[in-house]
Structure 1
Amino acid sequence: MLTALSIRDVVLIEALDLDFSDGLGVLTGETGAGKSILLDALGLVLGARGDSALVRGGAGRAGVTATFEIASAPLEALLADNDIEHEAGEPLILRRTLRADGGSRAFVNDQPVSAGLLREIAPLLVEIHGQHDDRGLLNPRGHRALLDAFGRIDTGAVAAAHRAWREATAALEAARAELEAAARDREWLEHAVNELTALAPEPGEEEALADRRRTMQRAEKIADDLNAIEGWIEGSEGGLAQLRQAARVLERIAGDHAALAEALAAIDRAIIEGSTAEDRLREARAALAFDPRSLEEDEARLFDLRGMARKHRVQPDDLAALAAELAGKLERIEAGEGGIAALEQRLEEARAAYADTAAALSAARKEAAARLDAAVAGELAPLKLDAARFRTVVAELDEGQWGAAGRDRVEFEVSTNPGAPFGALTRIASGGELSRFILALKVALAEQGAAATMIFDEIDRGVGGAVASAIGERLARLAERTQLLVVTHSPQVAARGRRHLLIAKSHDGTVTRTGVAALDEAQRREEIARMLSGAEITPEARAQAERLLEAA
């Protein structure tokens, strides 16, 4: 809801601060008083193109600030997506400045933003309906969503069916493309698969072969050293044999002296350690044993693996996976149209499921359209549009345009005279008729698709009496659900307002200014009497104004 509007140096407005409340607010004033300036200022802060002609003559720049109370999940999500800080329950403040040279800046909660973001935010805050408005109800692109909201139609099943259809289409297209590409390379594939099958690479094989080769190469280098060590330790002339012989002699004479016993013990320990060394040497020789033929075979295998990896531009460990991949491609080629046929069947089933679900959605929309047409028709006669007809067209789109929201084109059309053809609202209805059609639609749609604030610009132009009263009654009804601001020339509409703002020009001899004043009950009565009688306010006009206010 719009709670405040502050305007500085916009056209004839030097400085203006306005507060707004919920319900129906009316803005009145003599022709040329500057009512359109307020809408231009509001449009500027909602992202409209910044025209330097809006800057008041002599001023360097214009500025507009609008404050809103919001309770809208989509708007909160949009703010979060754009990193705009906003605490729940706090007001949302939009600000726009415009320099006389045409440059402009935009802010949301004092954070700099683009005018484009203001335009994204605007529809979630305010709907402005006027004779030249091309958004909201007049834009056919939004008619389908409005009809779905009116009929409480859930499009989730159609969206899911469309997603499945799209996925089946993508799978078939990918399979066909792969099959065509693979078929062109069939000869190469057969050769590559045969080569890899013959080689039979295994993951980790290269590293294992390289480690074994390094071990055998090292063993070859130290073989002479191991043979020499074996001669020094083992055999009848080796060190261990001599130590054992010395131990046998010492065993006979160790009792003759304590030192001999100690010598025997030391030799025994040396024999034990020497035996351990002898065992470790045998283990090492067994581990480092190599067969020149095995070494040659491992080196040849390594050469083949690495050569194949270079040929296919992969790592040797990836050769096994490559072999499986190429074999799979070859199998799919050999499977031929069998796999494609299965995917085609799946696609046909997905399309049929979508068509059935979309047909049910179309039926629901046509039923809702009939109810909407009846609701709008009930509003036309009181608005002096009794010769007009309204209809909601639900037509099937070309298959290429079917989507997640179904296969229907929805558009609101009118015929303003008996026998006249139906056409789009903007092409058929005149200015005054257009505003009344919008009002009839809004009343029929009630809360569906409405922003928190709605503004109607001179919806009552060219009508009076009972029609103006009907317009006022419907505006008041709408205002029970949302904040409504109406620029009006009709006393019947003005009398319905919960808050009344008077727009007027003033002159000080050199400068003309536009100002806005909130009216109390006595001032309201006087303004409505002026609207009834013109320049000279008569007692009869005041009495009529009193009756209108009492009736409201």
Structure 2
Amino acid sequence: MLRALDIRDILIIDHLELNFQPGLNVLTGETGAGKSILLDSLGFVLGWRGRAELVRQGARQGEVLAEFELGEDHPAHSILEEAGLPGGDSLILRRVNTADGRKTAWVNDRRCSGEVLRALSETLVELHGQHDDRGLLNPRGHMALLDQYAVTQQLLASVRAAWAAAAKARKTVAATRAALDAVRAEEEFLRHAVAELDKLDPQPGEDETLDVRRRQMQAAERIRGDIARAHALLSEGAEAAMGEAQRWLEGVSGREDDTGLDEPLAALSRAMIELGDAQDGVERVLDNLDFNPGELEDCEERLFAIRALARKHGVQADELGDYAETLRAKLAALDAGDQNLADQEAALKAAEDAYAQAAKQLGAVRRQGAAALDKAVMAELAPLKMERAVFETRITTAEPGPDGTDAVAFTVATNPGAPAGPLNKIASGGELSRFLLALKVCLRGEDASKTLIFDEIDRGVGGATADAVGRRLRSLASAGQVLVVTHSPQVAALGGHHWQVRKQVVDGMTLSQVVPLDGTERVDELARMVSGDTITNEARAAARALLAG
């Protein structure tokens, strides 16, 4: 509920402080007195887009402050929490417009953006009037209004969940198809490459092993002859000479004239052992150097084949095995892809069928709700002297989407047999106002969290019709707060709180003021609305009669 509105230096307002109350608040005044400026100011602090130049001439900046009272479950709390702004049972919005056009906003003394203000405004205020494109005249909002009236929230949640599931399944199928198409484009290469790799079957570390063996065989051709000659000398000359020497020395050793041969014999024995080790070692080297000449050719051929295949595929030789596994995996995916795709397409079909069923159920409930809404609106039109008019909630088939497969539009025909059309295209000014009021009475429900503002919604009607308009406005206000800008004395008389908007000239400057009316002042204002500038006793009597109800 809007508690207070403080306006400073906006258009022709220098300073106004207004304290609104629950129930029906009416604002009256002569044409041009500044009633629309109040709505412009409220729209400014709520972040609505309006006049580009709002600052009063000669002022450095204009400022509007609005205070709202929030209930415990008011939807504005969640917006404040999401935006990281302080909450509470009181919400204070303040917005400043400098003379050079810069705008700054605060929520509960914390800086915020215009987007946050507009999000809050959607939960705080509803504006209805002949030129309103934010409320009932906006066809884009008709489906949401019908859903609220028909209580389709659970069904709508199911449809949205089914739509999300179908969209996810559709995305999965598209990704699988794209992947399969990409693999199919290189299928011939994959099969040839895998066959080539399988045929060669390179092993980890094989490149290095082959390279070492190749170098050994190449070196063996150069050194084997020298080693063989050394081996012959060790095996024949050296061993025979040392053996002969050992026998001669052993023959002398142990005799009486032994001259100390034990130590030389021991050294010679050790030398014979070392010589044997040397012979064995050289023999092993010769064995290792002994190879089939064709082996070198085979080794080089395989080594070069591995390296050529690695260059061909742009990988290291030791990575050929892993690369082959990657290619095999792609082929396996291709071979299994058709079945996977078939399974995913079946899942997509099931998701789409579930969505279609949920959307069908939602559409059926919407059509039932539309019939009930049409009946309720028609019942409201009769007291508003529009008993011959026809209101219809038209539901047509639309492209599938998260909200179902329905398109919803409120249409009217002002006379039987006349073609039906959109509200703002068919109805005249006065008719449109009454249609909007009848709709709002039916759609209000138990939601009283918003302040409803009606801008001259009674234009073009008078007498009993204006009285019927006023009574419905008062009924709407009984559970919450309604502000109405009106030129109708019948409507103004039904208000629980009455303000008059008037202009006055101060020091050569025209300023707008808003004053609360009570008692005699209210009678005089209603009398002016009845008779015009000249207030007669008869007009005052009529005003008192209106106030008496």
Show the 5 A alignment for 1:95-494. Answer: 95-99=95-99, 101-153=100-152, 154=154, 155-194=156-195, 326-335=327-336, 337-397=338-398, 401-447=399-445, 452-494=450-492
Structure-2 separation of matches of 1:127 and 1:60 = 31
Q: Tell me the residue number matched to 1:36.
A: 36
- What is the RMSD computed on CA atoms of the aligned residues? 3.5
Q: Tell me the residue number matched to 2:64.
A: 64
Structure-1 separation of matches of 2:429 and 2:306 = 83
Is the 8 Å Cα contact of residues 492 and 498 (structure 2) preserved in structure 1? Answer: yes
Q: Tell me the residue number matched to 2:242.
A: none
* CA-CA distance at 1:197 after TM superposition: 6.1
Q: 5+ unaligned residues in a row in structure 1: which ranges?
A: 214-291, 294-300
Q: Tell me the residue number matched to 2:76.
A: 75
Q: Tell me the residue number matched to 2:494.
A: 496
Is the 8 Å Cα contact of residues 26 and 488 (structure 1) preserved in structure 2? Answer: yes
Structure-1 separation of matches of 2:50 and 2:317 = 65
Structure-1 separation of matches of 2:484 and 2:321 = 76
Structure-2 separation of matches of 1:457 and 1:63 = 22
Q: Choose 192-201 or 175-184, whichever is displaced more.
A: 192-201
Measured at CA, do residues 70 and 323 of structure 1 come closer, stay the same or move farther in structure 2, by a change above 3 Å? farther
Measured at CA, do residues 445 and 315 of structure 1 come closer, stay the same or move farther in structure 2, by a change above 3 Å? farther
1:547 aligned residue (529, 545, 548): 545
Is the 8 Å Cα contact of residues 50 and 98 (structure 1) preserved in structure 2? Answer: no
* CA-CA distance at 1:473 after TM superposition: 0.9
Q: Tell me the residue number matched to 1:19.
A: 19
* Cα displacement string for residues 266-312 of structure 1 (whole angstroms, at most 9, x for unaligned residues): xxxxxxxxxxxxxxxxxxxxxxxxxx99xxxxxxx999999999987
Is the 8 Å Cα contact of residues 478 and 484 (structure 1) preserved in structure 2? Answer: yes
* CA-CA distance at 1:319 after TM superposition: 8.1
Q: Which amino acid aligns with 1:133?
A: D
Q: Tell me the residue number matched to 1:510.
A: 508
Q: Choose 145-154 or 327-336, whichever is displaced more.
A: 327-336
SS at the partner of 2:57? Answer: coil
Structure-2 separation of matches of 1:311 and 1:550 = 101
* Cα displacement string for residues 137-188 of structure 1 (whole angstroms, at most 9, x for unaligned residues): 1111111111111010121221222122212211221121111110111133
* CA-CA distance at 1:438 after TM superposition: 1.1
TM-score (norm 1): 0.75
Q: Tell me the residue number matched to 1:231.
A: none
TM-score (norm 2): 0.75
Q: Tell me the residue number matched to 2:2.
A: 2
Q: 5+ unaligned residues in a row in structure 2: which ranges?
A: 213-287, 290-301
Q: Tell me the residue number matched to 1:530.
A: 528
Structure-1 separation of matches of 2:54 and 2:527 = 33
SS at the partner of 2:90? Answer: coil
Is the 8 Å Cα contact of residues 98 and 104 (structure 1) preserved in structure 2? Answer: yes
Q: Tell me the residue number matched to 2:263.
A: none
Measured at CA, do residues 415 and 450 of structure 1 come closer, stay the same or move farther in structure 2, by a change above 3 Å? farther
SS at the partner of 1:409? Answer: strand
Is the 8 Å Cα contact of residues 436 and 459 (structure 1) preserved in structure 2? Answer: yes
Structure-1 separation of matches of 2:2 and 2:379 = 31
Measured at CA, do residues 50 and 136 of structure 1 come closer, stay the same or move farther in structure 2, by a change above 3 Å? closer
* CA-CA distance at 1:4 after TM superposition: 1.0
Measured at CA, do residues 177 and 525 of structure 1 come closer, stay the same or move farther in structure 2, by a change above 3 Å? same
Measured at CA, do residues 190 and 550 of structure 1 come closer, stay the same or move farther in structure 2, by a change above 3 Å? same
Is the 8 Å Cα contact of residues 50 and 102 (structure 1) preserved in structure 2? Answer: no
* CA-CA distance at 1:359 after TM superposition: 1.1
* CA-CA distance at 1:417 after TM superposition: 2.2
Is the 8 Å Cα contact of residues 159 and 405 (structure 1) preserved in structure 2? Answer: yes
Measured at CA, do residues 352 and 318 of structure 1 come closer, stay the same or move farther in structure 2, by a change above 3 Å? farther
Measured at CA, do residues 43 and 308 of structure 1 come closer, stay the same or move farther in structure 2, by a change above 3 Å? farther
Task: Return the index of the structure with the highest Cα Rg.
Answer: 2
* CA-CA distance at 1:47 after TM superposition: 1.8
SS at the partner of 2:22? Answer: coil
Q: Choose 21-30 or 520-529, whichever is displaced more.
A: 520-529
Q: How many residues align?
A: 462
Measured at CA, do residues 383 and 311 of structure 1 come closer, stay the same or move farther in structure 2, by a change above 3 Å? farther
* Cα displacement string for residues 232-289 of structure 1 (whole angstroms, at most 9, x for unaligned residues): xxxxxxxxxxxxxxxxxxxxxxxxxxxxxxxxxxxxxxxxxxxxxxxxxxxxxxxxxx
Q: Which amino acid aligns with 1:23?
A: G
* Cα displacement string for residues 300-338 of structure 1 (whole angstroms, at most 9, x for unaligned residues): x99999999998788999988766554343123234644
Q: Which amino acid aligns with 2:38?
A: L
